[in-house]
C-alpha cells in the first residue's frame, strides 16, 4: 500500500519512475538507476567476481577474433563506432587498439547512462590512445537512438556489448532493435552480445555471488532513493533474491522485505508500506539461444550476418544488418 500526503508535481524521470514503481503491485524499480558513482564501482567489482562469467567470455571472443571483427567494421570511407552502454570500455579497447594500429579512419562514440562512467572512460582513453577521436554522449538508449540517424554521412557500426539487451524483456527488446534498425542504412551494422542459456546453477551463481557484491549492487537503489528523495529505507532490512526460469531464459533479481515496515520519501511526499516478505523487482537478465535471437532479429527487420562464439557456446556476439 502506498499513500501520497498531497498532490505534488514529479519533476525528474527518477522521481516519476520511483513513484510509479513503488505505487504499483507488485512493486518494482528500474535497474538503470543503480548506476550512480557507487553503483558503477560495485559493477566493476561484479565483473571481476569468479561467478560472473559474462565479461570474461565476451573478452575472449573479442580477443580471439580481433582481426576479423576489425575487417567487418572497417570501411574505405571511414566509419563511426557507436557503443551503447560503454561502461569502462575494457573489452572495447581490444577493438580500438586494432583499428588504430591499422590507421583506420573512424570516430568512437561511447554512450552511457552514467556520466561518471563516461568521464572515467574518456580520461582513460585519452591516456592510452592519444590519436583516438572520442565523442561521448550521456543518456538513455531510447533517447540517444533518436539521434543516431543523424550519423548518416558514412557507415555506422553500432555496438552493444555485455548482453545489455538482456535487461529488456522480449517486447521491449524488439522495440529497442527496431529503433536501432530504423537508424541504420544499408551499409550499417549492429554488433551485439547475447548471453546464452546454460546450466541454470551457473546463471544463478552469476547474479547471487558468494561475496554479496550483487546484493549490495541492488541495494544501492535504496541508498540512492534515500539520498535523492529524502527517503528512510533501511537497506539492511531487505534481502537480495535471485531466480532463474530455464524455460523462458529469464533471470530476475528482487529485494525482499524481511519485516513489515513503512517507508517515507519526503521529497515526493510518498509513504510506502511493505508487508513482511513483500518484494521489489529490480532487474532482469535475459538468456538466449540462436532461435530466439533469430526471431528477435526478424521482428525488427534485421538479419544475422555472422556469429562469433566460444567453443562451449556459453556466450555469442552477433553481427546484424538491415534486411533487404
Residue 178 is predicted with a pLDDT of 95
Backbone angles phi, psi at 51, to 5 degrees: -75, -25
The DSSP 8-state label assigned to residue 165 in this structure reads G
Q: Give yes or no for residue 96 having a pLDDT over 70.
A: yes
Mean pLDDT, residues 303-320: 94
Residue 150 is predicted with a pLDDT of 74
Residue 4 is predicted with a pLDDT of 58
Mean pLDDT, residues 266-292: 97
Residues 6+ apart with CB under 8 A from 52: 46, 206, 209
Q: Is 254 within 8 Å of 279 (Cβ atoms)?
A: yes
What's the CA angle centered on 303, arms 298 and 307, to 5 degrees?
A: 120
Closest Cα to residue 153, out of 105, 99, 199?
105
Length of the chain: 324
Q: Is 220 within 8 Å of 41 (Cβ atoms)?
A: no
Q: Exposure string (b/e) for 35-56, b if CB count within 10 Å is 16 or more?
A: bbebbbebbeebbebebbbbbe
Predicted TM-score (pTM) of the model is 0.90
Domains of the chain are: 2-50+202-286 (no CATH), 65-196+288-322 (3.40.50.150)
Residues above pLDDT 90, as percent of the chain: 82
For residue 184, list its beta bridge partners: none
- Name the pLDDT band for 2 (thresholds 50, 70, 90): low
Q: Give yes or no for residue 130 having a pLDDT over 80.
A: yes
Residue 143 is predicted with a pLDDT of 73
The DSSP 8-state label assigned to residue 134 in this structure reads B
Residue 5 is predicted with a pLDDT of 57
Residue 7 is predicted with a pLDDT of 58
Q: Is 193 within 8 Å of 95 (Cβ atoms)?
A: no
Amino acid at each position: 500500500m502506498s499513500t501520497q500526503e498531497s498532490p505534488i508535481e514529479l519533476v525528474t524521470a527518477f522521481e516519476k519512475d520511483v513513484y510509479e514503481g513503488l505505487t504499483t503491485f507488485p512493486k518494482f524499480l528500474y535497474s538503470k538507476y543503480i548506476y550512480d558513482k557507487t553503483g558503477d564501482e560495485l559493477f566493476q567489482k561484479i565483473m571481476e567476481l569468479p561467478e560472473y562469467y559474462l565479461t570474461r567470455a565476451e573478452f575472449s571472443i573479442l580477443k580471439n577474433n580481433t582481426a576479423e571483427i576489425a575487417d567487418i567494421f572497417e570501411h574505405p570511407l571511414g566509419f563511426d563506432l557507436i557503443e551503447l552502454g560503454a561502461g569502462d570500455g575494457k573489452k572495447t579497447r581490444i577493438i580500438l587498439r586494432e583499428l588504430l594500429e591499422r590507421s583506420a579512419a573512424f570516430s568512437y562514440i561511447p554512450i552511457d547512462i552514467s556520466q561518471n562512467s563516461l568521464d572515467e572512460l574518456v580520461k582513460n582513453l585519452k591516456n592510452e590512445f592519444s590519436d583516438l577521436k572520442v565523442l561521448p554522449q550521456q543518456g538513455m538508449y531510447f533517447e540517444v537512438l533518436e539521434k543516431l540517424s543523424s550519423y548518416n554521412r558514412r557507415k555506422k557500426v553500432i555496438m552493444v556489448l555485455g548482453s545489455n539487451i538482456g535487461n529488456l524483456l522480449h517486447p521491449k527488446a524488439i522495440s529497442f532493435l527496431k529503433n536501432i534498425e530504423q537508424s541504420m542504412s544499408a551499409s550499417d551494422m549492429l554488433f551485439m552480445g547475447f548471453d546464452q542459456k546454460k546450466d541454470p546453477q551457473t546463471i544463478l551463481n552469476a547474479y547471487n555471488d558468494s561475496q554479496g557484491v550483487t546484493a549490495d549492487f541492488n541495494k544501492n537503489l535504496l541508498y540512492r532513493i534515500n539520498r535523492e528523495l529524502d527517503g528512510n529505507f533501511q537497506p539492511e532490512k531487505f534481502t537480495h533474491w535471485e531466480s532463474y526460469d530455464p524455460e523462458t531464459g529469464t533471470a530476475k533479481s528482487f529485494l525482499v522485505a524481511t519485516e513489515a515496515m513503512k517507508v517515507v520519501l519526503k521529497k515526493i511526499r510518498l509513504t510506502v508500506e511493505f508487508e513482511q516478505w513483500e518484494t521489489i523487482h529490480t532487474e532482469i537478465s535475459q538468456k538466449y539461444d540462436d532461435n530466439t535471437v533469430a526471431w528477435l532479429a526478424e521482428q525488427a527487420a534485421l538479419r544475422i550476418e555472422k556469429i562469433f562464439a566460444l567453443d562451449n557456446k556459453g556466450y555469442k556476439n552477433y553481427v546484424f544488418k538491415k534486411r533487404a
